Chains A and B, each alone.
Chain A
């Protein structure tokens, strides 16, 4: 069964610095897809970035990048030049390649506070 673990419950950083958050996953599939979403204070859930397991290069979108360490089953999210509006709860999620229903399994989330 697939499982996603985020061990950091909350992180506080100063604006314009870099924040890194961890995520480890468990799967028996050789093919899988990893996603990061953020949930804002209003409850809105926004897709940020994706990593396909067969790709060696770390995905990058805007000021979001991933640290994909496949041997460690780890997919960390890095946010550079943080802004106040990056304050949110960040969820890591995984989808197995042979999932019949395309379901995503989510971690419990990491709350990030970006302060002035």
Chain B
């Protein structure tokens, strides 16, 4: 079936550096999401994106975070600069449209380790 792909699966960086997490959503999907999961905890909503714009973001989506999908390529989450508390698994998800009954498809996550 259709899959959301996330690259890389694991990223290790030093605190203060910039990192970009890449997501390749399902090809005909229009809504994209990022979620953050700290080990052993629930997934927490960061942001969602549609038609080139952020639709909604949570308090976790700090000023250091940004998202974009230039020219229909990867949907990216950029963190600049990174902080220790940004260490987590970041999940990308996508859905076809904004139907509220649609279950987003999730990628396998990118584990970010900030040292």
Contact = CB atoms under 8 A, between A and B. Distances in A.
Contact of B43 (A42, A52, A95, A106): A106
22 contacts: A31-B100, A33-B101, A37-B103, A37-B106, A43-B108, A45-B91, A47-B103, A50-B103, A91-B42, A99-B56, A101-B47, A101-B48, A102-B31, A102-B55, A102-B56, A102-B95, A102-B98, A103-B33, A103-B45, A103-B48, A106-B42, A108-B41
Contacts, number: 65
A45 B106 contact: yes
A73 to B, nearest CB: 18
Interface of A: 31, 33, 35, 37, 42-47, 50, 52, 91, 95-97, 99-109
Interface in B56-115: 56-58, 89, 91, 95, 98, 100-106, 108-109
B44 interface: yes
B42 A101 contact: no
